[in-house]
Amino acid sequence: MNWLSVELPPDMPAVCVAQAARQYSVPPELLVATLKVEGGEVGKVYPRSHGTYYGPYQISDKWLPEFERFGYTADVLQNNACANVVAGAYVLAYYKLRTPDWPHAIARYNVGALDTPERLDAGRRYAAKVLGHWGALYTKWGHATDAQ
């Protein structure tokens, strides 16, 4: 068993995280850290006043038109762990292409646009949590994370 398997919940296959990381050039440690902060679960939907979120990576309903092009409906994002992690990796990669660095991309994963002081502050707090988990993975596992 590798570090990735140990860090993921039982219903999140490590192979899916590793494949999504490779497909979208997102560090697998970042995917694990994001999952830890999001705290969603396979099979769960999270309705909020500003939208509905699906599955482990709590993919926002605003992304549904994009993901439906790939056959990922709300039901798929809610109930399919592999599809959900692919969606999470896609969103992180999408924002990374539009921002100068991972901290900004992580912030936008959570709040979308960083166009108001409130969104910027919320995004920074969220990114700090994710980056903290990301760093903790390196502290815990050292170079094992490079081997997968």
Q: What digits encode the pLDDT tens for the residues 132-141?
A: 999 999 899 9
Q: What is the CATH number of the domain that holds 27?
A: 1.10.530.10
Rounded to two decimals, the pTM is: 0.94
Average pLDDT estimate for 16-31: 97
Write out the residue range of the structural domain in which residue 47 sits.
3-147
Within the chain, where are the H helices? 3-7, 14-24, 28-38, 64-68, 74-79, 81-96, 102-111, 117-141, 144-147
CA-based angle 102:97:60, to the nearest 5?
80
- Residue 49, pLDDT > 60, answer yes
pLDDT for 41 = 97
Q: How many residues does the chain have?
A: 148
Q: CA separation (Å) from 129 to 4, 5, 61?
A: 19, 21, 23
Q: How many domains does the chain have?
A: 1
Q: Give Cα 139 to chain centroid, integer Å.
A: 20
